[in-house]
Structure 1
Amino acid sequence: MLESEQTPRQTLYRGRFAPSPSGPLHFGSLIAAVGSYLDARAHNGQWLVRIEDIDPPREVAGADSEILRALEAFGLYWDESVRYQSSHLNEFQAVIDTLLAEQRAYFCNCPRKRIKAIGGLYDGHCRDRLLDGEHCAVRYRNDVSIRGFNDLRLGWQDAAEAQDFVIKRRDGLMAYQLAVVLDDIDQQLNHIVRGVDLLDTTVSQLALYSEFNQSPPSYLHLPLALDGNGNKLSKQNHAPAVNWQQPQVELWQALQCLNLNPPTELKHQPVAQQLEWSTNNWQRHKLGQSNHIKSVC
């Protein structure tokens, strides 16, 4: 039985912000970017940016450049060059081929309808069917038992029942679970600060860290911003783009949403000054335990 203690792989803090280019930066993503940036800078760490562009049907032309311009406008300057996930597809496929060859993964043609009908938890139906791969997804044979993990904001999180999960989709596209772990390992990232909507993916990712004999990063899941109807601010919910040409007010609001309580006089100050104040005043415990916050904080 594996119990993740979230031991960093190296002393120097290395974190990241990893948006998908499915639209411009919105306020919910700004909170994630600012939170990850401040946690890195407050710990004298490095902060990287990665564009997770492995789902072409959902991507918007030029969104990656617009996201990067917005980050710069908000003063969120990254270390090292921007990594594009799509540049590493061959490496991801090589890992999948190895897992298949070692019978650590297998082909699966179960439709979502079947999985939903049995309660949503995959039952390993295709584990021993030896399918040839045509019109199939690839599933990781998840035999790793993880009791849970420690979140730096929420504390101990019990793991849900383990199941075999998809690492390559039926349509041939790489699945998030595998790509994010391989990229985080390759970039030597040891702190992951992201939205709490990704909390449930953590246990599957920890199973892959175990598979690859790698120490997992520390995780901190930030609360989500909601719109006026109580829905998560997201591109799917048509959240409006941030106004990165006049960023001071929205940055100040993001700091409010992160419970930093910035002084009112900071609201119209340059973003560099706001970030300097925020870095000096960043404390994880101030984030609180609520998983949802209003979009106008």
Structure 2
Amino acid sequence: MPPVFRFAPSPNGFLHLGHAYSALLNFERARETGGRLLLRIEDIDATRCRPEYETAIDEDLGWLGIAWERPVRRQSEHLSDYRAALDKLSALGLVYPAFESRAEIARLVAAREAGGPWPRDPDGAPLYPGEAKALTAGERTRLIASGVPYALRLDMAAACRRVAGLTWNELGGGPDGECGTVPARPEAWGDVILARKETPTSYHLSVVVDDALQGVGEVVRGQDLFHATSVHRLLQVLLGLPEPAYRHHGLIRDEAGRKLSKSSQATGLRELRAGGASPEGIRRLVGIRSSFSGG
């Protein structure tokens, strides 16, 4: 079977140079291995994702000379797949509803930090400080029935007790040069959100389900997701999903050294195209040669 690769943007803005770099790396990797390249549209955020951005993704990738298999998988069309995975985790007793708003969580963190530093995840966000796990089944049922918004969180401590010696195979490199067999530390993320009342899945849950269902054998993505791989490996084991290899690549940054964002028009592909850039010029700009480089 030929290896499967995927590029999975969210249609919540226009693509920039960082997206072009990742898409081209996936395309070149598929080409050099005789593999297949898939395009996946991660559109679970209905408030920010728009059809015009998906159209622009198609146009920009085509302009770059990237070809992919069709049909394209849109996450919004496969919510039942994520619901089934969530139900499996719930049946294991690993999911619980938490009812605090973001503002309430911020107040809880501030109160705890009055006594010293509160732990934060690898992205710098404070770990969930609430006590929703202590609610009784009756209290949870009453709150849900009353219409209170909630997030479904993974009981990380309970999940980690089920899995020992968790690692992943890193073919690229982490921010500190990690490569080869990398130990996974999902506990560093605390009780991550798996879904919300209004959104039936999260990035962490949907990405592992999608990669498994699409047969992705090598995940090529940016180093900003390196540490999140710990959570993904945990979910893969809990759900009985296959383990892909991972190839995390360096990020394209702006002049201040910051990771590019979709609000940065200076690096937007549409703006660069309008300014006369060519596909080969974009390749040179991001340092892509005709064969794969993990750069």
Task: Give the TM-score of the pair, scaled to structure 1.
Answer: 0.76
- Matches of 1:246 and 1:238 in 2, distance apart? 12
- Matches of 2:268 and 2:293 in 1, distance apart? 28
Which of 210, 231, 248 is 1:221 aligned to? 248
Q: 1:226 to 1:199 in 2, by over 3 A?
A: same
- Matches of 1:95 and 1:19 in 2, distance apart? 22
Gap runs ≥5 in structure 1: 1-10, 261-277, 288-297
Q: Shift in Å at residue 55 of structure 1?
A: 0.7
| Alignment-derived partner of residue 282 in structure 1 | 292
- 39-48 or 161-170: bigger deviation: 161-170
- Matches of 1:70 and 1:147 in 2, distance apart? 38
Matches within 5 A, 1:79-118: 79-110=69-100, 111=102, 112-113=105-106, 114-115=108-109, 117=112, 118=118
More helix by share: 2
Q: 1:182 to 1:115 in 2, by over 3 A?
A: farther
Aligned: 1:141 with 2:146: no
Q: Shift in Å at residue 125 of structure 1?
A: 3.4
Map Cα deviations across residues 37-73 of structure 1 (whole Å, 9 max, x no partner): 1111111100000110011222244100111111111
Q: Shift in Å at residue 171 of structure 1?
A: 4.4
Gap runs ≥5 in structure 2: 113-117, 120-125, 174-178
- Please tell me whether the aligned partners of residues 35 and 258 of structure 1 are also in contact (alpha carbons under 8 angstroms): no
- Please tell me whether the aligned partners of residues 16 and 50 of structure 1 are also in contact (alpha carbons under 8 angstroms): yes
Aligned: 1:159 with 2:149: no
| Alignment-derived partner of residue 254 in structure 1 | 283
Q: 1:245 to 1:78 in 2, by over 3 A?
A: farther
Map Cα deviations across residues 185-242 of structure 1 (whole Å, 9 max, x no partner): 1111111101111112111011111011122111111111111222211114555421
Q: Shift in Å at residue 105 of structure 1?
A: 1.1
| Alignment-derived partner of residue 28 in structure 1 | 18
Q: 1:53 to 1:239 in 2, by over 3 A?
A: farther
- Please tell me whether the aligned partners of residues 52 and 85 of structure 1 are also in contact (alpha carbons under 8 angstroms): yes
Matches within 5 A, 1:1-297: 11-110=1-100, 111=102, 112-113=105-106, 114-115=108-109, 117=112, 118-119=118-119, 120-122=126-128, 125-129=131-135, 130=137, 131-132=140-141, 133=144, 134-142=148-156, 143-144=159-160, 145-154=164-173, 155-156=179-180, 157-160=182-185, 162=187, 163-169=190-196, 171-238=198-265, 240-242=267-269, 243-244=272-273, 249-255=278-284, 257-258=286-287, 260=289, 278=290, 281-284=291-294, 287=295
Tell me the amino acid that sits aligned with residue 206 of structure 1. Answer: R
- Matches of 1:68 and 1:215 in 2, distance apart? 29
Q: 1:251 to 1:124 in 2, by over 3 A?
A: farther
Tell me the amino acid that sits aligned with residue 153 of structure 1. Answer: G
